[in-house]
Every structure is written in C-alpha cells, then in structure tokens.
Amino acid sequence: MGKKGDLSDFERGMVVGARRSGLSISKTADLLGFSHTTIYRVYREWSGKEKISSERQLGQRRMGRLVRDDRKATVNHITTRYNQGMQNTISEHTTHRTLKQMGYSSRRPHRAHKNWAIEDWKNVAWSDESRFLKQHSDGRVRIWHKEHESVDPSCLVSTVQAGGGCVMVWGIFSWHTLGPLLPIEHRLNATAYLSIVADHVHPFMTTVYLSSDGYFQQDNAPCHKWQRGLASVLSLNSAFKLICERLVRVKYWYIFPSFQILCI
C-alpha cells in the first residue's frame, strides 16, 4: 500500500467519510483497500485540522464579541480581555492580525453624522464614478503554458487600443429612487464634472427632494475638489478683468452726452 501522500483528495475524503460514518479502522481498510496505518494517519490529520479550524472560529467569535462590546478598545485592551480565563494566551500581534482577517479596521469615528437616524440618511443622494473592464485585467496578465504552447490560441491575450478596454460611468441614487447612469467617454476633469452636476444632479435633487431637504454626496476625487493655487489665481484674474470692464463702462456713461441718450 502506498503512502498517505499518494492518496488523492477524493481518496482521503473517502477515508474520513467512512470513519465518520462509524466504521472501524479495519473495516475502512478492507472497504477501501488501504493499509491500517494509512487509514489511521489520514483520519488523525483530518481530526487535527478540524480541531484547529474549530478553535480558530471560536476564537474569532470571542474576539468579535469583545470588539462589538467596546468599539473604542485598543489592541492591548482587547488582548488582555481575550486572555482572561484562557489556557492558551495570544499576543497583541496575533490580535491585530486576527482582527484584520475578520475585516476590522481601526478608524476614527465619524462625528458629523454619528447620531443620524434612517430618516436622515433617506435625504442623502449618493454619487460616484466607476470603471468597468470589458476584457481581462488592465494589469500585467500571466498564464501557465509549456514551452511548445507559447503560440497556442488559448495562451494568447488580445490587446486593446488605449482606453478601449474599459467603460467608465457616473451614477447617482438615493433611498427613494435610482438616478441616471452616464457613460463617460473621456477623462473626467473638473469642467466635465461641473457639467454633470448642472445637467443631472440639479434636476435629480429638485425632483426627488421637493422640500429642498436633500444632501448631495460626493467623494474626494480630484475633479470634485476646488483646485487651490492656479485655479484661485485664474479666478482672481477673471474677477479683476471684469471689474476693469465695468469701471470703463461707468466712465463712458458719465461722459456720454445726455442729449444723445435721449435720441437712442
């Protein structure tokens, strides 16, 4: 009889299934044709992994309860509380790694809206842009092939001209309804974004929130934010130019003969 390493996953599964159904090692060996040693080793290793997996799940549930009981607890505090009454203690590093694996992240609480109820969130219109790939990933793609398969059609990836492999869209929605979903053909800059806000956000907000009690939400994408520096200089130059033009008009108004005004 071959070693345990010669058994496939399916064969090891049959060993575990037979033992869990109540068959003895001898009956399992006779049924499957494996040695007693192989049957014993396969089931022992499976039992050990199952025990470790079960202990890990119990530990994660215990740690999850500690986090939910006190969201502001530090890693040191969580570790101390976790180790209380435990035979096998863990370190702060293990606590931090486990919390990451469970999907927890340490963040500052959002204070501005922490007391909002569902009725408050119903007045928020959410918006964002997203890019969808039409083919494979736009990153570097790797494949497995043998030396003589380098030109096999299944080992080739078609290429797409710049910008043609994805579709970018902008959308808006709220608790009450879905808004428009707009395809963005070119790079979304501040000018294009302002056009979207004027053409689609304003009509959506005035239609959905008739009492003008809605809030428009956007993230901190570069095209959403006011560009300080150059943009400020340009706006000041524009304002200065406009003031000069208005002053010139006032000057000509006062020097313009009144009798000519009556004739116009």
Residue-wise pLDDT for 120-164, tens only, equals: 899 999 998 888 876 665 556 676 767 777 777 777 766 655 555
Residue-wise pLDDT for 24-76, tens only, equals: 999 999 999 999 999 988 888 888 776 555 667 788 888 988 988 888 888 99
Give the residue extent of every domain in the chain.
4-101, 118-224, 230-263
- Torsion angles phi and psi, residue 24, rounded to 5: -75, 170
Architecture of the domain delimited by 118-224 = 2-Layer Sandwich (3.30)
Q: How many CA atoms lie within 13 A of 255 on its CB side?
A: 6
Q: Does 173 have pLDDT greater than 90?
A: yes
Q: What is the pTM of this model?
A: 0.40
Query: Which alpha helices (H) appear in the chain, and where do they start and end?
Result: 9-20, 25-32, 36-69, 75-83, 92-101, 118-121, 190-196, 202-208, 230-255, 258-263
CA 38 – CA 15 distance, rounded (Å):
9
